[in-house]
Amino acid sequence: MIPELRTDRLVLRGWTDADRPAYAAVNADPLVMATLGPSMTREQSDAHVDRMIAHWAELGHGLWCVALDGECIGFTGLATPDFMPVVEIGWRLGSAHWGNGYAPEAARAALAFGFDERGLDEVVSFTWAGNTKSRRVMEKIGMTLDPTAGFDHPRAQPDLNPHVLYRIHR
């Protein structure tokens, strides 16, 4: 079961089939996907939801649906990338919801869960070096750039490399 977290304005909760159309719209938004890679089809977006649900069952942490007034606006949470042995915090919100502080608000709740409930000692986050919006969220939630840990993401488009890595410890 996916635990539910509440912030002042948001609910981080498990995914439902009703969330799939709104999440597909996020993944089709060219502003959102400009720093992540090509837009996703509905089928690709639905497959991503399926993987996020499976991640929870497998690892006991994962990516929550972020709901505002009951509607899915994207995700935040903890993931374990298959190409490095870390727990990563990440977020993806529809561009209509940018600039309201939702990403750091949701990310702080996810970090607290990771440290307090999962007993993690460290969480990282990474993004394309040019993604200033995500880098700003990382800084707002207390993460620090590790200048020695930059890398080329193995699945990123060539123009979306190099990546930078930020860290935070319990």
Q: Is it the case that residue 102 has pLDDT exceeding 90? A: yes
pLDDT (0 to 100) of residue 166: 98
For the stretch 9-34, pLDDT in tens is: 999 999 999 999 999 999 999 999 99
Sign of the dihedral through C-alpha 168, 45, 93, 129: positive
Give the residue-averaged pLDDT of 78-90.
95
Q: How confident is the model at residue 1 (pLDDT cuts 50, 70, 90)?
A: confident
pTM of the model: 0.95
Omega cis (within 30) before 162: yes
Question: Residue with structure tokens 């996916």?
Answer: 2
Sheet holding 63-68, edge to edge: 5-6, 10-13, 63-68, 71-79, 88-93, 122-128, 163-169, 144-145
Give the residue-averaged pLDDT of 119-132.
97
DSSP classification of residue 99: T
CATH number of the domain encompassing residue 117: 3.40.630.30
- Is the distance from CB of 109 to CB of 12 less than 8 angstroms? yes
Q: Is it the case that residue 133 has pLDDT exceeding 90? A: yes
Q: How far is CA 95 from CA 8, 26, 37, 59, in A?
A: 20, 8, 15, 29
Question: Residue with structure tokens 């410890």?
Answer: 169
For the stretch 28-72, pLDDT in tens is: 999 999 999 999 999 999 999 999 999 999 999 999 999 999 999
Tell me the C-alpha distance between 16 and 92, whole Å. Answer: 17
Which domain range does residue 131 map to? 5-169
Backbone angles phi, psi at 76, to 5 degrees: -150, 160
**Domains contained in the chain, number:** 1
Q: Who's near 134: CB < 8 A, 6+ residues apart?
A: 35, 91, 103, 125, 127
